[in-house]
Structure 1
Amino acid sequence: MLPGTTPDDGMTLPPNNTNSATNVHEARNALGKRLRELRHQAGLTGKQLAESLAWPPSKVSKLENGRQTPTDDDIHGWTQVTGTTDEAEALLASLHTLEVQHAEWQRQFKTGLSAHQNEIADLDARTKFFRAFEATVIPGLLQTPEYARARFAQGIAMFRAPNDINEAVRARAQRQEMLYRPDKRFHFILTEAALRFRLASPEVTLGQLDRLVSLSALPNVKLGIIGFETHYVVAPWHGFWILDHDRVMVETYSAELNLAQPQEVELYGQVFEQLATVASYGRAARAIITGVIDDLAPDATEDGS
């Protein structure tokens, strides 16, 4: 959820409907409204349109009222029956914009997880400056193969996706090679909770924490850690990525939101800077990480015995 904050005064409100969710809802409603207009212009009732396309009558109502997102085939069928095939291209453009803004994991993972990693790699190649805040998980670009495997395993289980976990881990490892490219810059901010959450075995988590210490020394990587004792100015409602100054990516349980409206990108940039002001860097950040390592080490020893 987008933090309900006023960045200038630091006041925090309870989570509310996010701008991103509102925009997705409005875009789906606008597309449905246009479909309804085309049906009315053709003089068809919803029942007649549904019968022409061999659809259940409820589907027409769901599409027109924004309760269901149409497919490409739905758009083509609708414009053919209403005699408005010249509108198909514009409608498909609206649909695809909506799909990018709200990309459901169930649909993205239909063919496996590695394909999504490769899609992200294309976006990585175009991006020069990465800013990422994570409150609960280690960012993918910083993950060890073992930690990544644990995260992908959860995705496969949740979405019943094809098990291409080996290919997905390899694709993520290949993406991480850009951490060593001098033409790219990275600024990561993690909460101490992200270091401590048991999202993998103690042994895997220890290896992950060691990797964070190593990566923090890279010249083009800036790693900030927000300790438990820190007084937040902006509440850490959720993780997000800012790519250059053009796009914000937010992952929810059901979908990946891609925000590109200037006011949204600017707001997330302000939130990131507020979080950066309370994060610890350099030796102080590594001290937090090593403190977590010391606390976790006995558990790893017990599990390994």
Structure 2
Amino acid sequence: MPPFPTPGVQDARAALAGRLRELRLDAGITGKELARRCHWSVAKSSRIENAHTAPSDKDIEAWCTACGAGDQAADLVAANRQADSMYVQWRRLQRTGMKRLQEASTPLYERTRLFRVYASHVIPGYLQTPGYATALMSTIASFRGTPDDVTEAVEARLRRSRVVHEGDHRFATLIEENVLHHRIGDDDVMASQLGSLLASMTLPSISLGIIPAGAAREAVMWPLEQFTVFDDVRVHVELLAAKVAVTAPGELDIYLRAFARLTRLAVYGGEARVLMTKAIDALG
């Protein structure tokens, strides 16, 4: 691990260290006593608790056991791994462009049977047309200053998207209505993308719901960051600076519950087609 991780990783490390410190305080023991129970030095306890040293899985398990909180070890181990994943994703994006990111996730797409996808900003990758994907990735590459491998990245994304048509995969997809009106590329690109989205509703692997812009959200959910749930075991959350992998059981449950609530806001079938047709008509 390089000495200067991204701010997102620093925040994740600090949050984990804070949770470990709370466990120690709740147990009513000192750092010295914790070190004695874990059979390591007081300095090591201090470095972990102050986020100066990233703990190993065994360190976290020992810490939780010493504090009488063994039931929390799994969540904290997952959070620790999540910080590592966040950094790797950022580094790849910065240094090698986008093609490798598409290819790296292909095995995950191939082995996943149930995708739950919430799109609040752009059309999900597996439903993107070549023109839309090219316009989107060109904008991302320009903004982030990544190597210009857009053509190769689009080709890799299209290859990855074959899972929509092949194998036993199901895609429960929710798209905010505003996404239909976000201009990615020119009018022809958007018209083609929206037409393709309409056609995707006939695919047996796709369940497509549109969340109307005017949906009442008081008791359900406001628009969230874009995310994908893979078989209830992993969530990818798309932030401006990084793609974050969530694997902690407690955090996974939050996203599953959020998706269930968002599902109740969506319209399907004819009502969804009306919203997509309006978006096409608005292109002029």
Deviation at 1:229, TM superposition (A): 2.2
Deviation at 1:21, TM superposition (A): 8.9
Q: CA 1:100/1:231 → structure 2, altered by over 3 Å: closer, same or farther?
A: same
Are residue 25 (structure 1) and residue 25 (structure 2) matched? no
Q: Please give the alpha-carbon distance, in whole angstroms, between the structure 1 residues aligned to 2:152 and 2:52.
A: 35
Q: Please give the alpha-carbon distance, in whole angstroms, between the structure 2 residues aligned to 1:133 and 1:107.
A: 24
- Which amino acid is the alignment partner of residue 195 of structure 1? L
| Per-residue Cα deviation, 1:154-189 (whole angstroms, up to 9, x for no partner) | 221122111111110000000111101241100110
Q: Please give the alpha-carbon distance, in whole angstroms, between the structure 2 residues aligned to 1:185 and 1:215.
A: 13
- Which amino acid is the alignment partner of residue 235 of structure 2? V
C-alpha RMSD of the superposition:
3.2
Q: Please give the alpha-carbon distance, in whole angstroms, between the structure 1 residues aligned to 2:52 and 2:209.
A: 41
Q: Please give the alpha-carbon distance, in whole angstroms, between the structure 2 residues aligned to 1:67 and 1:158.
A: 32
User: Which structure 1 segments of 5+ residues have no match?
Assistant: 1-19, 42-60, 70-93, 299-305
Does the Cα contact within 8 Å between 1:28 and 1:98 map onto a contact in 2? no
Does the Cα contact within 8 Å between 2:12 and 2:83 map onto a contact in 1? no
**In the TM superposition, what are the counterparts of 1:1-305 in structure 2 within 5 Å?**
23-27=12-16, 66=51, 98-232=83-217, 233-296=220-283, 298=284
Deviation at 1:26, TM superposition (A): 2.9
Q: Please give the alpha-carbon distance, in whole angstroms, between the structure 1 residues aligned to 2:41 and 2:111.
A: 39
* TM-score with structure 2 setting the length: 0.73
- SS across alignment from 2:161: helix
| Per-residue Cα deviation, 1:126-168 (whole angstroms, up to 9, x for no partner) | 2110011011211111100111111111221122111111110
User: Which structure 2 segments of 5+ residues have no match?
Assistant: 1-8, 21-30, 55-78
- SS across alignment from 2:116: strand
Q: Please give the alpha-carbon distance, in whole angstroms, between the structure 2 residues aligned to 1:230 and 1:264.
A: 26
Q: CA 1:112/1:120 → structure 2, altered by over 3 Å: closer, same or farther?
A: same
State the identity %. 31
- The corresponding residue for 2:59 is none
- Which amino acid is the alignment partner of residue 273 of structure 1? A
* TM-score with structure 1 setting the length: 0.68
- The corresponding residue for 1:89 is none
Aligned residues, how many? 233
Q: Please give the alpha-carbon distance, in whole angstroms, between the structure 2 residues aligned to 1:28 and 1:103.
A: 20
- SS across alignment from 1:271: helix
